[in-house]
C-alpha cells in the first residue's frame, strides 16, 4: 500500500480496514512510511503524509470536512464509515483520489458494498491475502499480484 501511495502520487487516500487493530497497524505504517526510506525507495528528505485516523463518526459536518482536508491519508474502519451520513460519504468520495480496501474479501458483504458504492468511478484498490470467499462469491476486479503461500513459506 505504501509503495502504491508513492508510485501513484495519490493526492488523498482513504484506507478502509475491518478492525481497530488493523487501523492502528496500517496508520502507523503510513505515518512512518514503513521501510520505504530505510530501503531507499523514497529519499530521506521525503515528507511524511498527514495521516488522519478516524476513530469515531463526526456529528459536526464542518469538523468532518476539516479532518478530511487536513489529511493526506485517512485510515478508517468500515464500521465507522457506515455511521457517516450519506452527505459525509459523498464528501469523502469527492475528496479522495484513491481508496484502498484491506481485507477486501469482506467487500461482498452488504454493509461493505454500501460504502464502496459511494466511491464508484474512483480508483479503488482491494488488498487481501485471502481472495477466495467461503460462500463462493468472486471479488470484483483483476488480480494484479498473486503470491502463493507455498512460495512465501519457501522464502
Is residue 54 classed exposed, middle or buried when 0-12, 13-18 and 19+ CB atoms within 10 A define those classes? buried
Do the beta carbons of residue 73 and residue 1 sit within 8 Å?
Answer: no
- Distance of alpha carbon 16 from alpha carbon 76, whole angstroms: 5
pLDDT for the residue 103? 78
Intervals of the chain under pLDDT 50: none
Tell me the three state secondary structure of residue 63: helix
Give the model's pLDDT for residue 105: 65
Q: Give CA–CA dist 37/83, Å, rounded.
A: 36
pLDDT of 118 reads 83
pLDDT of residue 142: 64
Q: Which three cell numbers stand for residue 90?
A: 459523498
Amino acid at each position: 500500500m505504501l509503495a502504491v501511495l508513492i508510485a501513484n502520487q495519490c493526492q488523498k487516500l482513504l484506507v478502509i480496514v475491518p478492525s481497530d487493530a488493523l487501523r492502528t497497524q496500517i496508520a502507523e505504517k503510513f505515518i512512518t512510511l514503513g521501510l520505504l526510506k530505510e530501503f531507499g525507495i523514497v529519499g530521506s528528505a521525503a515528507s511524511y503524509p498527514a495521516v488522519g485516523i478516524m476513530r469515531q463518526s463526526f456529528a459536526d459536518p464542518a469538523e468532518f470536512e476539516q479532518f478530511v482536508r487536513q489529511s493526506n491519508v485517512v485510515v478508517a474502519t468500515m464500521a465507522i464509515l457506515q455511521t457517516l451520513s450519506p452527505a459525509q460519504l459523498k464528501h469523502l468520495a469527492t475528496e479522495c483520489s484513491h481508496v484502498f480496501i484491506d481485507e477486501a474479501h469482506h467487500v461482498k458483504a452488504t454493509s461493505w458494498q454500501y460504502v464502496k458504492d459511494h466511491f464508484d468511478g474512483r480508483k479503488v484498490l482491494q488488498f487481501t491475502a485471502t481472495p477466495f470467499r467461503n460462500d463462493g462469491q468472486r471479488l470484483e476486479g483483476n488480480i494484479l499480484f498473486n503470491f502463493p503461500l507455498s512460495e512465501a513459506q519457501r522464502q
